[in-house]
Amino acid sequence: MSQTVSSAAMGGMIFSLCIAILLPIALMIIAKIKLKPWFLSVLVGAGTFIAFALVLESLLHNVVFRVTGDLLTTNVWFRAIYGGLAAGIFEETGRLVAFKTVMKRHLTKENSVMYGIGHGGIEAIILLGATSISNLSTAAMINSGNIESLYSALTEPTLSATKAGVETLLTTPPLTFYLGGVERISAIGIHLCLSYIVYRAVKDKNIKLFFLAIAIHAFFDAVTVLLASVTSAVVLEIILFAMVAVMAVFTVKAYRKEPATIEEVA
């Protein structure tokens, strides 16, 4: 194969891989040192995301896709509203359940941060980290000239799917790979804020805060889908980053107003 994956594109894949894996680890270490949380909070966050988003929400998607046919793929407004609400309801309900059960005895603002790192971190690792590893592996095979040997070992329909994936990898602009990492920074920021909001909903027995978290989550996801259909990826990420920054300012202010509740259980 004469075409190769550029060094710029490879750099983008490595950048996204580092964001997906190293950023959650760095945040976890910093939080552990600075906040002294219940360390298992990070595992509760990760497990809750897997159970409620990857398992339960996926089951709903399977049903909805069968019922609606092409509506989700052809109607951007329906896809945005449905996708946003589904993600908001399942993930925020997961947080609510986790804070009311597993974390009931460890209901502190510090633990809500650690939970958010686990929730957002595992999402980054699974969605972006795994994709980046796969892309890097395929790119290495392309650049080393070994991709043809892979083709020869495959049969249809896997062969066609693999060729399509390789073509996508070769034609994707390098900037796109970098933007994947930027998008995860914003996503982790959202998860940290939402985790604190739902924590306060449970702590203060304020159900309105729980519904606010659902609304915010749904809004961010819906806006992402809608903007992606009308603007460039760069503009989209700038807008999302700005939105998350504004949300973070208000969340941090609320966090700092609340007295510290450090646990000696880690």
**Distance separating alpha carbons of residues 248 and 126, to the nearest angstrom:** 24
pLDDT digits (tens, 9 = 90+) for 36-84: 999 999 999 999 999 999 999 999 999 998 898 888 888 999 999 999 9
- pLDDT in the model for residue 263: 57
Report d(CA 95, CA 80) in Å as an integer.
Answer: 22
- The answer to whether the CB of 204 falls within 8 A of the CB of 41 is no
- Residue 164 pLDDT: 86
What is the DSSP secondary-structure string of 119-138?
Answer: HHHHHIIIIIIHHHHHHHHH
Mean of per-residue pLDDT scores for the chain: 93
**What are the boundaries of each domain within the chain?**
22-257
CA 200 remoteness from chain centre: 22
